[in-house]
Amino acid sequence: MTTLTLIFNGPASQARAALAGLLQSYRSAYFIERSSTEYAVTADEATADELAHLPRWTTTILPR
């Protein structure tokens, strides 16, 4: 499993809608809200790699 931070690159008012899309698309990932635009995510390696390349999101992979 990999833990990463996703930061939405857009208005905070649109972040929840963007998150809802991720929750539907990546049901195996575990999301924790840190702020209105920042989320910690734990996912398997393949899912983490997909999440790391999403448009409108900045990603930081956290050390183990």
Backbone angles phi, psi at 54, to 5 degrees: -75, 140
pLDDT at 7: 97
Calculate ∠ Cα 16-18-22, nearest 5°.
110
- Mean pLDDT of the residues in the chain: 94
pTM comes to 0.88
Does 64 score more than 80 pLDDT?
no
Is the distance from CB of 44 to CB of 1 less than 8 angstroms?
A: yes
Which tens digits make up the pLDDT trace of 22-45? 999 999 999 999 999 999 999 999
Name the residue range of residue 48's domain.
Answer: 2-61
Q: Is the pLDDT of residue 62 over 80?
A: no
CATH of the domain at 29: 3.30.70
* CA separation for the pair 15, 1 (Å, rounded): 24
The number of distinct structural domains making up the chain is 1
pLDDT value at position 63?
A: 75
